[in-house]
Structure 1
Amino acid sequence: MTEPPATGSGPLRNCGVLVTRPAHQASGLCQRIGLLGGRSISFPVLEITAPKDSRPLEDSVAQLDDFDIAIFISANAVEHALACILAQRDWPVAVRIAVIGRRSAEALESFGLQADICPQEHFNSEGLLEQEALQDVAGQQVLIFRGNGGREYLADSLRERGATVQYVEAYQRSRPAESSTSLVKAWRSGKIDIVQVNSIESLENLFAMLDDEGRALLRDTPLLVVSERMLPVVERMGFTQPPVLAANATDDAVLDALCTWHG
């Protein structure tokens, strides 16, 4: 658990935000919360590592030219897949790249690539499937880079439209083994006003990592979520405060939602 200092003034003054993103993706948001006068506590509830079996990812390097479209399901998929692929070859110009949202598009740019297909809003599988380039994919070969597990909706929908779809596991998601003792102590002392969570899996991991006292504190604390899909899950888990919905998972959207809520 890390707790960067706040600046003491700004629209998030005296607001304590629990940031649950993976460690390597939390620092930018935490710094910006501090610059806006808030107090962030970083407690990663997802650990991102290499896949248990790296052979499918390694095999995809030589097979890329056989595909029409490659879809990266997250920024983590971009970073892990392209680090492997571009170390061995250039990206084939004939293979169009699709991403779920802006964070993935920004990750692509760090590798010198641009997304051909990206939603302008609704940064999820549904939003991607609305794109004109994915309406008529009959006979096309589609490769999806993702983590272990996850929703089947995107692949199933593309198959219904006539595409042949193959998955490649580019990274592994797991629940960290970190103790929540210090976190619960900070919570008990009033340092946490709102909890940022990016996914249902993140929320379930956080719940599992807390003790009974921590779970009770969590249920009484507002959640900031980035997808409407999370709303019924929050309700089922017995939260007493209405969740705050950010437009998407980007830092800008999360900060806008925080400032509006705290304002």
Structure 2
Amino acid sequence: MSGVLLLTRSELDNQRLARSLAELGVRTRSMPLLHIEPQLESPAQRELLLDIDRYHAVIVVSPVAARLGLERLDEYWPQMPVGLEWFAVGQSTAAVLQAAGLPAQAPAQGQDSEALMALARWQALLLTRHLRVLIWRGVGGREYLAEQIRNLGGRVDYLELYRRCAADKLPSALAEAADAGVTGILVLSVQALEYWHQAAAEQWLQQAGWRCWVPSQRVADRAAALGCRDIIVCSGADDSAVIEAVKAHPLT
């Protein structure tokens, strides 16, 4: 019998992915590594949303950012602002925006900042004089985008909508997962990887031998630096990318 794959996204995301993997005969176990804590809206953040039509583009970095940002936007803009370009890091994020009627663009291949910046429409937008961009994100992260825009003379503001915290009782949950036959793990961010490493503690040497699926080379490099010995790089972080990687590199 093959090993068990530990899914570490939110419980809702894990359940959805688990159903698809079960159709392939892959056994899974759910254990979120991160807890998403929405941020209270500050007066400065309120101004960013009230003035959103002054920006040329909005970049949304995750489905969570899309959902929380749209909830806030709805409070101030009964009708969606016009004249904005919407970009998403990943097709899953784009789908949330598109469901709200926003024509969001996302890379067809790749789900990172570099792939987004390679979009033809984004390259054209970078030629705009006094370019103003608003990035919807969690606290921290995605500095590469801002650096590139500022280097070309543009302005970047952040609407930070949530904070990622370590999930409760990770050490005991990891021990239970190991006892349940887990031999593989899906880790979709450097922060989640760090939480896994810290929670594993004295069991890290053993768990670092689990097959580890990650969404990008950046996360893979950090996993290798921490001692992970069996790393599979997916073509992105969405369900389809993970499923294809698991099919290509099944647990034995």
TM-score, normalised via structure 1 length: 0.87
Aligned 8 A contact 2:33 2:196 in 1: yes
State how far apart, in whole Å, the 1-side matches of 2:28 and 2:4 are: 6
**Aligned partners of 1:139 and 1:162 also within 8 Å:** yes
1:209 alignment counterpart: 199
Pair 1:195 & 2:185 matched: yes
Alignment partners' CA distance in 1, 2:42 and 2:199: 28
AA in 2 matched with 1:186: A
Return the match for 1:139 from 130, 145, 150: 130
Q: Which residue of 2 aligns with 1:237?
A: 226
Match of 1:28 among 1, 8, 16: 16
Cα distance per residue 1:25-72 (max 9 Å; x no partner): 222112212222221111111111211454343322211111110111
What do residues 161-213 of structure 1 show as CA deviations (whole Å, max 9, x unaligned)?
22111111122211122243243133145x11211010111100111222312
The one-letter code sitting in structure 2 at the alignment partner of 1:75 is P
| Contact preservation (8 Å) 1:57, 1:81 | no
Could you say what the CA RMSD is over the residues aligned between the two structures, in angstroms? 1.8
> What letter is aligned with 1:194?
G
- Does the aligned pair in 2 maintain the 1:138–1:161 contact within 8 Å? no
Between the aligned partners of 2:93 and 2:188, the Cα distance in structure 1 is: 14
In structure 1, distance between residues paired with 2:144 and 2:170: 34
Runs (4+) off by over 4 Å = none
Contact 1:137/1:158 (<8 A) preserved: no
TM-score (norm 2): 0.91
2: CA distance, partners of 1:25 / 1:55: 32
Distance in 2 between the 1:182 and 1:147 partners?
25
What is the match of residue 6 of structure 1?
Answer: none
From the superposition, tell whether residues 205 and 254 of structure 1 become closer, same or farther in structure 2 (CA, over 3 Å).
Answer: same
Question: Are the equivalent residues in 2 in contact too, given 1:159–1:165 (CA < 8 A)?
Answer: yes
Structure-2 change in CA distance of 1:171 and 1:237 (3 Å)? same
Q: Distance in 2 between matches of 1:99 and 1:224?
A: 22
Higher helix residue share? 2
Report what 1:176 is aligned to.
167
C-alpha deviation, 1:17, in angstroms: 0.7
What is the distance in 2 between the residues matched to 1:74 and 1:161? Answer: 25
Alignment length (residue pairs)? 247
Residue 50 of structure 1 is matched in structure 2 by: 38
The higher relative CO (CA closer than 8 Å, separation ≥ 6) is in: 2
Instruction: Point out where structure 2 has 5 or more consecutive residues left out of the alignment.
Output: none
1:92-114 Cα shifts (integer Å, max 9, x gaps): 12111111110111111232322
- 2:61 paired with 1:73: yes
Report the secondary structure of 1:211's partner residue: helix
Equivalents in 2 of 1:24, 1:132: separation in Å? Answer: 34
Cα distance in 2 between the residues matched to 1:253 and 1:15: 20
Question: 5+ unaligned residues in a row in structure 1: which ranges?
Answer: 1-12
After superposition, the C-alpha distances for 1:72-94 in whole angstroms (9 at most, x for unaligned) are: 11111101101111233122121
Assess if the C-alpha contact under 8 Å between 2:59 and 2:88 holds in 1: yes
Q: Secondary structure at 2:168's aligned position in 1?
A: coil
Distance in 2, matches of 1:158 and 1:133, equals: 14
Paired residue for 1:113, among 96, 102, 112?
A: 102
